[in-house]
Every structure is written in C-alpha cells, then in structure tokens.
Amino acid sequence: MTWTIAGSLTVVPAPTRTDLLAEPVAKALAALVEPDGVGVAEIDPALADTAAFCETYGSPLEASANCVVVAGKRAGEVRFAAALVLATTRADVNGVIKRRLDVRKASFAPMDEAVSLTGMEYGGITPVGLPADWPILVDQRVADAPELVIGSGIRGSKLLISGASLASLPGAEVIEDLAK
C-alpha cells in the first residue's frame, strides 16, 4: 500500500514488524480483517509527540490522530474510555465524553494508570489493542479520513491506518463532534 501521508517514513505492513508494536497492539492487529492494510514505521522515540513527529518526518498534522484515555466515576465505579480525535482538534471531555460515560465529571486518566491498564507506553497509546470492555469513541472526522498516523503502543513507531479501519475496531463508536 502507498501511504501519501508518510513523508520521509519507511512504512512496512505492521504484521511484518511486531517488534515495533506494544504486545496488546500486535495481538489486536492479528485479529483485524485486513491486518496487512495497516502500516508501521520506526521513528525516534524522542520525536513521538505529534508536533515534533510531523515537523521532523514531514507527515501532515491534519492526518494525525491522538488517542486519549478518559476516566470518570459513577456510584463509586471508575469508567474508562478512549477517545480518538484529529491532532488539530481537542476531545470534548466534559461534554460529549462525559455524557457518553454517564459520569458526573470526566478527565484524562492519570498517566501511570493509563500506561498500566493499556500495556502501552505514554505518548504511544493507541485504540488498537485497548481493554475489550472500554468504549473507543471515534470522532466522525477521524472515521472519514482515508489515511491517518496514530500511536503504535510504543514511542518508537507509528501506525498508518484508515479511518474506516479505526471505526470498525471492536467497541468503536463513531460520534459526530466528539472534538472541538
């Protein structure tokens, strides 16, 4: 597959380089209908943050999506979800996401908790391979994108994937205006 958003990255089919994926990501990719339709590219871990990554590798910012882990409580129960939004937008945590989780207050999950629960590195958390009981909230703009760059579960690589593939992940819900 040719990725028009790859910039200077060398992209290979993700199933051929599972060493560039967090363990839960590699397992989840193997279960996808078309795992070879997902690319992976090795990057400098120090450049994993979106702005630095895009500037260094020439990948367009508007083709990057960020995954954030959100938590909220209801009746003493902590509820988690992942929200996937374009890097040029911000997740509506205390509006749309709070209502979807049916909690009084929602916020970004603490870093150590997000890392522990996902089995992924902070700065590389991705919707592919998250705990099965978490909803994956996908902004409509992400679902509509033909090509996106997202985390791979580690800081040393990025996944290239279509929005349609993300929208079809188990537990994914496409939501209009999830982000502002």
What are 41-65's pLDDT values in tens digits?
999 999 999 999 999 999 999 999 9
Residue 103 pLDDT > 80:
yes
Cα 31 → chain centroid = 17
Averaged pLDDT, 153-168: 96
Distance (Å, rounded) from C-alpha 102 to C-alpha 79? 9
- Per the listing, tokens 């705990």 go with 131
How high is the pLDDT of residue 30?
85
How high is the pLDDT of residue 83?
97
Map residue 38 onto helix, strand or coil: coil
* Higher-scoring residue by pLDDT: 119, 34: 119
Residue 36 pLDDT > 90:
no
Q: Are strands 172-175 and 136-139 parallel, antiparallel or unpaired?
A: parallel
Residue 76 pLDDT > 80:
yes
Averaged pLDDT, 100-107: 94
3-state helix, strand, coil in the chain (%, to 5): 30, 25, 40
* Higher-scoring residue by pLDDT: 44, 2: 44
Mean pLDDT, the chain, rounded, equals 95
- Per the listing, tokens 């979106």 go with 50
Distance (Å, rounded) from C-alpha 175 to C-alpha 97? 10
Contact predicate 75/159, CB 8 Å: no
Residue 33 pLDDT > 80:
no
How high is the pLDDT of residue 51?
94
pLDDT tier at 31 (50, 70, 90 boundaries)? Answer: confident
Averaged pLDDT, 152-167: 96
How high is the pLDDT of residue 34?
80
Say what percent of the chain tops pLDDT 90.
93
Fold of 12-175: YbaK protein (3.90.960)
Strand partners, 122: none
Averaged pLDDT, 9-36: 91
